[in-house]
């Protein structure tokens, strides 16, 4: 269980998070939605301790994270932009990250899943964007942790890889993982998510199941509901 309590965050004068209260239920897939700049990435980074909240608390497995770092062994975080040291080889990168986290790993399964084996000996600087995202997936998801946090996981992936990633996420859900995804692709939300957190200008506009969210609007399509909220939000 990950819990955010009365979270506030300003970047300079801009308010990024305002009184955010969120509960990620164990064993479910939650999607964080919201327009650009609504605070999705900041929210994730606060959970990871990359961004330090001005006020409020973050609890991971009932532990207040304030300044700790050990709890991160329970989190696999797939970041949005993947850039690695240019002169390391893929296999060296994998070994390096493993070196940092003395945990059980399953990199071979993931390497085969995303057909990365031919690229293992290549330098990271020589890889295409898609391949780099696959490497990113391998190095972050190989630890089999309790929580998965995926920030725009599908960027740059080819259809086959996308399909496999989705299957992988579903499998993880079945294995009892708690998963948090941010994405702009509503299809992905429809396919995978059970719960939704909808952020608007740093505030939690909605938190609940997909079904509850759809009931907010006139349409019965999530995408249209979201568009509705956004236009109303702007008018209001």
Partner 1 sequence: MLRILKYSFFDLTRSWWNLVYFAFFLLVTFSLLYLSSDLSNAMISLMNIITILIPLVGTLFGVMHYYNSKEFTELLLAQPIKRKDIFLGQYLGLAVSLSAGFIVGLCVPFFMYGIFHSELFSQFIYLLATGILLTFTFSSISFLIALNNNNKMKGFALALVFWLFMAIVYDGLFLLLLVQFDEYPLEKFALGVSLFNPIDLSRVIIMLKLDIAALLGYTGAVFKLFFGSYTGVILSFSMLFVWSVAPILVTLKVASKKDF
Binding residues for partner 1, per CB under 8 A?
A: 11, 45, 48-52, 69-73, 75, 77, 79, 81-88, 92, 96-97, 99-101, 139-140
Crossing angle of helices 129-141/90-100, nearest 10°? 30
Give the nearest distance from C-beta 194 to partner 1 in angstroms. Answer: 24
Closer residue to partner 1 in complex, CB, 99/104? 99
Give the nearest distance from C-beta 187 to partner 1 in angstroms. Answer: 27
Give the nearest distance from C-beta 40 to partner 1 in angstroms. Answer: 15
**What are the phi and psi torsion angles at 90 (to 5°)?**
-55, -45
Closer residue to partner 1 in complex, CB, 6/11? 11
Closer residue to partner 1 in complex, CB, 50/163? 50
Tokens representing 102?
A: 């003395």
Closer residue to partner 1 in complex, CB, 85/233? 85
Closer residue to partner 1 in complex, CB, 28/123? 123
DSSP-assigned beta bridge partners for residue 199? 204
Give the nearest distance from C-beta 103 to partner 1 in angstroms. Answer: 9
Closer residue to partner 1 in complex, CB, 60/169? 60
Give the nearest distance from C-beta 99 to partner 1 in angstroms. Answer: 5
Closer residue to partner 1 in complex, CB, 154/209? 154
DSSP strand pairing (55-60 vs 63-64): antiparallel
Q: What's the burial of 217, exposed, middle or buried (CB within 10 Å: 0-12/13-18/19+)?
A: middle
Give the nearest distance from C-beta 151 to partner 1 in angstroms. Answer: 10
**CA angle in degrees (0–180, nearest 5) for 227-233-236:** 140
Q: Is 5 helix (H, G, I), strand (E, B) or coil?
A: strand
Give the nearest distance from C-beta 172 to partner 1 in angstroms. Answer: 18
Q: Is 208 helix (H, G, I), strand (E, B) or coil?
A: strand
Beta strands in 80-186 (DSSP E): 147-151, 178-182
Sheet (strand 75-78) strand order: 75-78, 147-151, 178-182, 29-33, 195-200, 203-209
Q: Do 14 and 35 touch, CB atoms closer than 8 A?
A: no
């Amino acid at each position: 269980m990950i819990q955010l309590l009365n979270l506030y965050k300003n970047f300079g004068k801009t308010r990024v998070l305002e009184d955010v209260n969120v509960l990620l239920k164990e064993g479910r897939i939650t999607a964080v939605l919201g327009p650009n700049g609504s605070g999705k990435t900041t929210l994730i980074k606060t959970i990871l301790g990359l961004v330090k909240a001005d006020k409020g608390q973050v609890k991971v497995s009932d532990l207040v994270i304030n300044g700790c770092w050990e709890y991160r062994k329970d989190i696999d975080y797939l970041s949005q932009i993947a850039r690695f040291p240019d002169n390391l080889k893929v296999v060296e990168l994998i070994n390096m990250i493993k070196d940092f986290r003395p945990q059980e790993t399953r990199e071979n399964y993931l390497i085969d899943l995303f057909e990365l084996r031919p690229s293992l000996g290549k330098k990271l600087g020589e890889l295409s964007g898609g391949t780099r995202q696959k490497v990113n997936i391998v190095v972050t998801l190989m630890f089999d942790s309790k929580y998965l946090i995926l920030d725009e996981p599908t960027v740059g992936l080819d259809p086959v890889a996308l399909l496999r990633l989705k299957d992988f996420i579903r499998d993880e859900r079945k294995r009892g993982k708690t998963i948090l995804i941010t994405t702009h692709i509503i299809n992905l939300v429809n396919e995978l998510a059970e719960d939704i957190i909808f952020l608007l200008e740093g505030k939690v506009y909605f938190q609940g199941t997909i079904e509850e969210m759809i009931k907010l609007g006139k349409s019965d399509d999530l995408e249209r509901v979201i568009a509705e909220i956004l236009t109303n939000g702007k008018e209001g």
